[in-house]
Amino acid sequence: MKYLVGVGDMKVGTRKDVIITYALGSCLGLMVYDPVAQVGGMLHAMLPLSKINPEKGKTNPFMFVDLGVPRLFKEIYDLNGSKERLVVKIAGCGQPLGNNEIFKIGDRNYTVLKKLLWKNGVMLAAEDVGGTISRTVSMDLSAGRIIISSNGKKREL
């Protein structure tokens, strides 16, 4: 099955699934995979902290890094994923408008994620973050393979 993750969205799946998201700019793309259980998921979070709009956080927690990240991990655990085996990778967190971007959303998304992971003893295996490019991310759950596409080029993360 092929799942599309929109902005402010999250999907999880099993070994026969492919998960894809488009147009990661300042948004956080978080990919988590358990190679033994062959389960994983992807989050496309827009904003770092839900405190700016608690009501929106209740109706769509995947919009926010602080709410979406724990939900993604919980759903993977519910599919028999194990924290000790998880391979965690990220993409996005850029500055699509260049260095003059006032709010630095990409930097803030990255900082909030790193704090959450550190606090929970989770290490990043790889990242493709920053810059001004837009990224498309495809995750094949049969092997945990993640492909980043940007500027007409593809590379494995």
Instruction: List per-block mean pLDDT (blocks of 10 residues) for the chain, which spans 157 residues.
Output: 97 97 96 97 98 96 98 98 97 83 88 97 97 96 96 95
What's the pLDDT score for residue 101? 66
Handedness of CA 84, 156, 31, 2 (dihedral sign): negative
Asked if residues 41 and 10 have their Cβ atoms less than 8 Å apart, the reply is: yes
For residue 129, which amino acid is it? V
Which residues are identified as catalytic?
27
- Domain of 44 in residue numbering reads as 2-156
* Longest Cα separation, the chain: 44
The CATH number linked to 127 is 3.30.1330.200
What's the pLDDT score for residue 97? 75
Asked if residues 47 and 31 have their Cβ atoms less than 8 Å apart, the reply is: no
What's the pLDDT score for residue 96? 79
Number of domains in the chain: 1
- The pair of structure tokens assigned to 13 is 């799946």
